[in-house]
Amino acid sequence: MFWDESVGGARFVVTGRAGGGSAAPYDGLNLALHVGDDPAAVLANRAALAADLRVAPDHVVYVEQVHGDTVLQVDGPLTGPAPQADGLVTTTPGLALAIMVADCVPVLLADPDAGVAGAAHAGRGGMVAGVARRVAAAMRDLGARTILARLGPSVCPRCYPVPLELREQVAAVHPETRSLDRHGQPAIDVAAGVLAQLGSLSVDVAQLAGCTVEDPRLYSYRRDGTTGRFVGAVVLTPS
């Protein structure tokens, strides 16, 4: 694991490229079936992740992420085609919620005492739509009260230049996202927007340091183009 933390009855993890059986350009633990990698290698990588999480392979829940704000409640393994969603919540112990990323922000949330977990895929579009906030609200509807959140590594503003007009459109709604890249050009700090949204809901949130573009241990679409995906996952550990 790139990062692994247990708090009470919840476990937060972020994978990296290390391990796994995917060949170049997906070298390592690619967990995405939609990027052109050998499906057999991806399924073997997913099985290895499930083993590390101490759950059955079908108890790691993946969805088709579309940069929106749809939140799906899951109570068990999904069958058939993966549904489209960018947020997940559950009250089922031993069911891991997995968010695939290669620059976007993986947001992992849990209230271990209440037995509620959630996860969100927050790229620029999802952050603007408030997907992390919607996941936190869905968790509270399920009984969560004291929510812990962990943001996995994502592209930093130094590596995320955007047109000035786009930056200002986003900053008009989320001013904390206004930034500059390493060359002094307009940039967006997506993670800062997520942190602000969750902070406004009194969520106890912390960010894992690191930039996907700058760290070769992580997959980055902006750096490499054709590449794999790592995941952020949260699981309520059975008592």
Tokens of 187: 């940039």
Tell me the sheet residues that pair with 41.
none
User: Is residue 41 one of the residues assigned to a domain?
Assistant: yes
Q: How many CB atoms lie within 10 A of CB 51?
A: 11
User: Is residue 118 one of the residues assigned to a domain?
Assistant: yes
The domain total for the chain is 1
The C-alpha atoms of residue 131 and residue 117 are separated, in whole angstroms, by 15
User: Is residue 184 one of the residues assigned to a domain?
Assistant: no
User: Is residue 85 one of the residues assigned to a domain?
Assistant: yes
User: Is residue 229 one of the residues assigned to a domain?
Assistant: yes
User: Does the reported pTM lie above 0.85?
Assistant: yes
User: Is residue 201 one of the residues assigned to a domain?
Assistant: no
What pLDDT tens digit does each residue of the chain (239 aa) get? 899 999 999 999 999 999 999 999 999 999 999 999 999 999 999 999 999 999 999 999 999 999 999 999 999 999 988 999 999 999 999 999 999 999 999 999 999 999 999 999 999 999 999 999 999 999 999 999 999 999 999 999 999 999 999 999 999 999 999 999 999 999 999 999 999 999 999 999 999 989 999 999 999 999 999 999 999 999 999 86
State the amino acid at position 228 in one-letter form: G
Q: Which domain holds residue 219?
A: 3-157+211-236
User: Is residue 218 one of the residues assigned to a domain?
Assistant: yes
CATH of residue 218: 3.60.140.10
